Structure 1
């Protein structure tokens, strides 16, 4: 259990001074300011009165959550300057193959998997298959009493995954009555509709020793489409990757897809397409020579924010068996539904005929004679020859399968968790035992894909001269393969708009599915107390154990597993592990009420874990707290944390993805002398491209079509993090003018050795072409020119989970808070600021560090300011969040022959307001405006690193939606 301690008003203000975001509404502060409270403190398991966490601790209260109007906890936590960019959110997951709409958190930008999320001090089942990241959508915000953020390594106290820190969510308890909250809202553009309803109820026994509570919540958030924002309404790309000029980075140029609904067909020397009237015209994507554009605008179909609907139920309770023992339980059930939407599938002939590099036969051999497919137009037939030597004329194509419709993924996700145990005391010692079971499952159904095998059969048609299909006609087309005809094959006509018949569509369409399951089992216990008197007090001790079993599976449909639906090939990933851990913690008071030592204490902890996958791991921490006077306290902690690889990192089978990389060979000539040029020319297919064009020339499909496979690695070992924090807390209560002011400053330094990372694809490419042949095995180039794809263009760049050369971050957190009566009401103010001094990753142990500080997503300066004013029945709350300027990724700039830091986006400031009015003693109306001044997102255009597809910005860093309003009522009955 977490330690529980009685804190006076002054100690409580120290905790409030550690707030990084949010501020309690003034009326809530008034009610609690002068009372003595019991507050659980994250960071220790010792039940020693008066002890405090020696590590930086930040607290977010239920009033802060209410003042934000947040639908999910992620919405509010992301304003905290200690938070990095989450892997998954509503605005960055439209294109992921699973877990779309999940909400995760990422402390210090060290990764979701290195941020341990607890509920009431215990682990919670993951919401991401194969990972440990918790889906915050499953935790009802209105059932939260507070959230505690412990930044820095905490593995010795809480176990693996706490390398970056801990987010501990404390649920409400011992409540009697009924709480309600209902609101609705939308954006100023008329979308992003939001509805929320929550009810919390509780009752206690007559003596108050036992209590049961329940919570029901419902929320629905509507979609935001790319076409409804000016920045993302049209397909575009940055001018920079082509021109290599820094000034061109944020200049968008039209970039309509060459996969058009009417088809794009390539003969021996000519490309052509169709106009709306069905006439053959030369292909021209950008509409030159006075023609209308023939490409396709994918942004008309894409989504910025995923529609999400949630039903939540939570319950807690405790039953006093006697005055020494009580039983407790916690139950959670969350059901959510999300829907992604992307443009109709862009199919290429190389998806169907992979072995022949996309060459489609226009003829079929029948009785030793080549018979023409009657659906192939004469214009194309006359302009093609036999390219692959099989005696049949060949062509290639790309086509947007608009008849199939948009690609959608509808995911029904359920999370269930139950925890129960006993708490009690034996003499002066307290104990806590528990067992818990959690399960998350997802059923995903997708549309918009095709069956590659059926499509091939449908493409190979012959005239039905013998009326095989018995329809009375000998001039129509039938599928050449008799077995395919027996299974319903219908020839498919790709030449022009809406030419695919409903019968052919029915034959080739391939709905997809994905089922996932995550199971967590927990058992643990701890005992704590004080023993052995010292002059400064008793030594506090805690000891305990935890056993945990994690299992996960993600199983796509058979076509997807085989890569036969023309999309990403995704094999099943299944695996699990178990771990048993033991820990010991102590707090030793060294000095008390001495000159220059109001108090001095040592804190230490050690944990040993044994994993079924990586064997033994050890973690420890040691800290000092020194208060020279009651107004100032210094704290310092040194910790070693561990994280074992998760199931995905260990067991992911090669899974296809489409990465964003820059080809270092682009533009290389036969005599150029750049850093990569000699290595590029060593590849025969690159040389063929140079021979054909005078230099390496890449087409738009070449740039858009790079694929690759991500793979797990059962040989991984655990990573180890070393963190140092040194800080000061000022609570100048002895100075009347500053008696209600609190200030904290903490230095942090976290270094992770053997960090588990997917190998960096850009690093792999760069190393391959600077002479390290070991990396070239992960790179595959095209062996021939087919259609729009160039010989020598990148085809696959693969990646593998590895124990890398490590990663690290360093910086300073500062918070300050103050509250007092000003004029007729009470004013409260809080500021939190993080200065990022350093952040780097090392792809391999022998590689140079890749520094990210100052880049987009790693701003040097981040801050949030909260102001609240309460006057009689009226209240106002303002939150201003600031993100400093950021440069584009330095490796991207170097690849494009630009200096690191030469291309930057400016800082962004967002202002949120909430106004309240008490219509009754315990009921208030509230009106909120988020992003009140409609601050536009930074233009991280397609083609630039960090772009979130469909948003034309980095939607994990900047707000892609814009101004939003909401109106609601809440209170107690």
Structure 2
């Protein structure tokens, strides 16, 4: 792979193919229920029409019949239950996630990241956020005809992002008649109701067709308090942590007349007695563990989602050789997310309860802590998608050869609106906690009697008044809430505009067959903005400040693909075919890149096929990567200049020069000494984009075989090996990496982003994204599909798909250029084995579909609250391991085709109500439970009426 190369590079595949037949045991590739041997019919992954892509690369297809036999109601759930699917970084279970991508549904093939799986709709890109995430909720399930999944790199055909693979959702067209669908389900705990209604109408004529599909879907939220593993936070059966957080909804304060409140070792935090007088300092008692806050009681476990969509497809034949195909899609997605009220500490914002506040019991500035329980933090996210994709195609004959051509366009616009409430205004809190008095009407008022502030301009707050206790200054007062908690909105728009032209056919007939080709050009422009309102940008709230993101880029691409038959109908070579493709992409921001792919197919006998591919790929930096606005956060980190921390270099020249004294102790929230590290900063650190990023690059290899023995009709066995190597990965630079480079490794160029206060603590760090990452992953897919001969008791079919992950290394370079391992198999919910077994039975109008979804056990780092050895608390490579067992979820569906042209299906996902184990690794969830596991038994009913 090279950059700024002005020519398309083609070559030969310099690799041998290793062949091994294995006994049939599990399976690979994917999908539950009856996936077809799609390799024989799919064209995803090639522009050459009619090419038998089974010969080059592993492809999986799920037909509409297959989708209807599953209990999933949206495209994302179907895809994320494939055995080759990883754990998307953002999911409905991740209520703590924030930003533009919240509320979306994503797919992550091979655990390479959702941004490295390209999603197409009818062969054209799905609209993405400024961060490059393609939201599958844009595609209504009622419009889907089939889904094709290419599990191999394909940048030579599709360009950027097709590193892990390609998902191509093919929609319904040429539909004649009508179809109404109803789907209703809920968990047997009585929550999480999922309802979906759709109508599809179509008509075909001599020269054209029109298909219309409308859909409404709503999934209610599930609350963390209603599940055993999330109701009490991350505390497991072996927990040694206190029950909840001492930043309690009952409020607590430290009396400066009795102890040194600035010293965490001597500070004593007290809360109001039941029925006590908040102005009497003697009516308070020391806060007990029973009064600690359990924030999960206010958190959503699964985000609520509501969708409305309208899809229209039209075709028209201008002549016998020229036709028009047009897709129009409108989709509106609304999601609701909630987390607990903010854990407010006055020391973090230097906003004590003022000595002259009407609510101060001691007449001196008072430090306090209060969980803002009355006002949970909520996020309402809306995404509106409008998509228009016309294509004119045709064919012509020349010199006894037929050539296919098409020219197409795509206009996709995504508009996002995110409305948030629950972050406290720091300007408002400073006023509400400042001077106040009781006026002549007996009402608390800001200011002083001599200089009052109008009630309409300020409302006093009493943070010592516990949740649920009435009184002046109570946070339950709606007017006080309006004063302290403004509602703010962030708006974003992304646009994708592209124009394509393709020509395909056969150049010449060789002894082994036609030499096929495809050539084409594409122009694409990406535009994006994501603009928080003035309040969010100001940073003057308990939330995280963020500046606007705005940018655009365009590109021009040209590609060439050849399908070269080498041998045919010979001994030990029934077929030997080489496929070669290369694509040159010229970007307005970073220049050019050429990416090629080579595929070889060898069929030594009719029943055995061997295939292999080698592919180069790339992922261009996104608008957010390049032009993202600065954002703030309170980071957890370890300061190597502090005494008593692991790897301390306290007192070395770099630390002293940077302003850290030799006896410096790391400070955390409230500028109090950290008891353990890593420790959360009490100051906001700033992160942002990097306009100098270059593309990620990748190399992928696959070798596989497909065996269809003639002596067992209906049996297909496939085995594929894969390996992906990604370099130049775009990752967030980290506070720990900057500090290590500066103070431990002595890279002075890294020290400029660190600012220390007079006492030596880090008061500010500015950092961004960088091309510092690498990834190397390897594994196997094994698939067994068997359609038994029809028996008197019915027709049986079996589909068993298994994926085995043998290697997963993710690393980041430090200043010395060394790789620091930050991920490996058995961490971060990387299952070594995932397997789906599907058994389908049909007899007349009745059918039963059963699926078992298997996840192997995990080893994960033992951390404080999940440690099986509570005397050892360690992190990273030095941590003792915590082991979890394997898990299997069972799904069942029973269906009946009624004589009035209807189908009724009853089903249950996780029919035995299996509960997964507690897991503390980073597993796309805000709770100690893997976000891809079922959270209970889900019961549903489906009704389909055709007319």
Q: What SS does the corresponding residue of 2:697 show, helix, strand or coil? A: strand
| 1:788-844 deviation digits (Å, cap 9, x = unpaired) | xxx96x877765211014112111111110012245111111111111111112211
Change (3 A) 1:720 1:320: same
> 1:686 deviation in Å?
8.8
- 1:653 aligned onto 2:622: no
Where does residue 568 of structure 1 map in the other structure?
A: 544
- Which of 493, 507, 526 lines up with 2:462 in the alignment? 493
Where does residue 963 of structure 1 map in the other structure?
A: 937
- 1:714 aligned onto 2:706: no
Q: What SS does the corresponding residue of 1:254 show, helix, strand or coil? A: coil
> 1:575 deviation in Å?
1.2
> 1:254 deviation in Å?
1.2
Where does residue 613 of structure 1 map in the other structure?
A: 589
Residue range with higher mean Cα deviation, 768-777 or 303-312: 768-777
- 1:757 aligned onto 2:759: no
8 A contact 2:643–2:665 mirrored in 1: no
Where does residue 15 of structure 2 map in the other structure?
A: none
> 1:854 deviation in Å?
2.2
- 1:112 aligned onto 2:114: yes
Where does residue 290 of structure 1 map in the other structure?
A: none
Residue range with higher mean Cα deviation, 772-781 or 570-579: 772-781
The 5 A counterparts of 1:216-615 are 216-237=214-235, 253-265=242-254, 267=256, 268-269=260-261, 270-279=268-277, 280=281, 284-287=286-289, 293-350=290-347, 352=349, 358=350, 360=352, 362-363=354-355, 372-378=356-362, 381=363, 384=364, 394-403=365-374, 405-427=375-397, 428-463=402-437, 478=447, 485=454, 488-497=457-466, 498=470, 499-500=472-473, 502=477, 503-615=479-591
For the residues of structure 2 that align with 1:904 and 1:38, how far apart are their CA atoms? 42
For the residues of structure 2 that align with 1:908 and 1:868, how far apart are their CA atoms? 22
Where does residue 907 of structure 2 map in the other structure?
A: 928
For the residues of structure 2 that align with 1:679 and 1:822, how far apart are their CA atoms? 81
Change (3 A) 1:37 1:542: closer
8 A contact 2:276–2:284 mirrored in 1: no
For the residues of structure 1 that align with 2:529 and 2:288, how far apart are their CA atoms? 45
Where does residue 836 of structure 1 map in the other structure?
A: 805
8 A contact 1:622–1:637 mirrored in 2: yes
> 1:946 deviation in Å?
3.9
> 1:72 deviation in Å?
1.2
Where does residue 5 of structure 1 map in the other structure?
A: none
Change (3 A) 1:192 1:768: farther
Change (3 A) 1:453 1:69: same
Q: What SS does the corresponding residue of 2:849 show, helix, strand or coil? A: strand
Change (3 A) 1:895 1:759: farther
Q: What SS does the corresponding residue of 1:231 show, helix, strand or coil? A: coil
The 5 A counterparts of 1:623-702 are 623-658=599-634, 661=636, 663=638, 669=644, 675-676=647-648, 678=650, 684=660, 687-689=663-665, 697-698=674-675
8 A contact 2:42–2:53 mirrored in 1: no
Where does residue 11 of structure 1 map in the other structure?
A: none
Structure 2: stretches of 5+ with no match in the other structure: 1-26, 262-267, 865-871
8 A contact 1:212–1:316 mirrored in 2: yes
8 A contact 2:90–2:924 mirrored in 1: no
> 1:423 deviation in Å?
0.5
> 1:565 deviation in Å?
2.2
> 1:256 deviation in Å?
2.5
8 A contact 2:337–2:380 mirrored in 1: yes
Where does residue 723 of structure 1 map in the other structure?
A: 700
For the residues of structure 2 that align with 1:889 and 1:796, how far apart are their CA atoms? 30
For the residues of structure 2 that align with 1:781 and 1:347, how far apart are their CA atoms? 24
For the residues of structure 2 that align with 1:656 and 1:351, how far apart are their CA atoms? 15
| 1:145-186 deviation digits (Å, cap 9, x = unpaired) | 111111121000111110111001111121211122212111
For the residues of structure 2 that align with 1:969 and 1:666, how far apart are their CA atoms? 65
8 A contact 1:48–1:529 mirrored in 2: no
For the residues of structure 1 that align with 2:918 and 2:94, how far apart are their CA atoms? 15
The 5 A counterparts of 1:891-902 are 895-896=874-875, 899=878, 902=881
> 1:476 deviation in Å?
6.4
Q: What SS does the corresponding residue of 1:755 show, helix, strand or coil? A: strand
- Which of 826, 829, 835 lines up with 1:857 in the alignment? 829
8 A contact 1:713–1:802 mirrored in 2: yes
Q: What SS does the corresponding residue of 1:117 show, helix, strand or coil? A: strand
Where does residue 21 of structure 2 map in the other structure?
A: none
> 1:74 deviation in Å?
1.1
For the residues of structure 2 that align with 1:132 and 1:51, how far apart are their CA atoms? 28
> 1:704 deviation in Å?
8.9
> 1:717 deviation in Å?
0.5
> 1:294 deviation in Å?
2.9
Change (3 A) 1:94 1:970: farther
- 1:56 aligned onto 2:51: no
8 A contact 1:236–1:253 mirrored in 2: no
Q: TM-score, normalised by structure 1?
A: 0.84
> 1:777 deviation in Å?
5.9
Change (3 A) 1:431 1:449: same
8 A contact 2:809–2:825 mirrored in 1: yes
Residue range with higher mean Cα deviation, 922-931 or 705-714: 705-714
The structure showing larger relative contact order (alpha-carbon pairs under 8 Å, at least 6 residues apart) is: 2
> 1:685 deviation in Å?
7.2
> 1:652 deviation in Å?
1.6
Give the CA RMSD over aligned residues.
Answer: 3.3
8 A contact 1:188–1:965 mirrored in 2: yes
For the residues of structure 2 that align with 1:474 and 1:755, how far apart are their CA atoms? 60
Q: What SS does the corresponding residue of 1:867 show, helix, strand or coil? A: strand
Q: What SS does the corresponding residue of 2:76 show, helix, strand or coil? A: helix
Q: TM-score, normalised by structure 2?
A: 0.86
For the residues of structure 1 that align with 2:620 and 2:516, how far apart are their CA atoms? 30
For the residues of structure 2 that align with 1:807 and 1:508, how far apart are their CA atoms? 46
For the residues of structure 2 that align with 1:623 and 1:691, how far apart are their CA atoms? 57
| 1:737-796 deviation digits (Å, cap 9, x = unpaired) | x12100111111111111111124555566667445656666678877xxxxxx96x877
Q: What SS does the corresponding residue of 1:77 show, helix, strand or coil? A: helix
Q: What SS does the corresponding residue of 1:455 show, helix, strand or coil? A: helix
8 A contact 2:641–2:649 mirrored in 1: no
Where does residue 776 of structure 2 map in the other structure?
A: 808
Change (3 A) 1:927 1:783: farther
Where does residue 786 of structure 2 map in the other structure?
A: 818
Change (3 A) 1:190 1:720: same
> 1:333 deviation in Å?
0.8
Residue range with higher mean Cα deviation, 44-53 or 177-186: 44-53
| 1:365-417 deviation digits (Å, cap 9, x = unpaired) | xxxxxxx3333112xx3xx5xxxxxxxxx4322222334x2221122221110
| 1:414-473 deviation digits (Å, cap 9, x = unpaired) | 111011120101211110111111111122222222222122122221558xx7xxx577
8 A contact 1:432–1:525 mirrored in 2: yes
Change (3 A) 1:945 1:143: closer
8 A contact 2:407–2:500 mirrored in 1: yes
8 A contact 1:152–1:750 mirrored in 2: no
The 5 A counterparts of 1:20-169 are 20-24=30-34, 39-48=41-50, 50=52, 52=54, 54-126=56-128, 128=129, 130-169=130-169
- 1:937 aligned onto 2:916: yes
| 1:930-967 deviation digits (Å, cap 9, x = unpaired) | 111222232125xx544732x33232x433x2111001
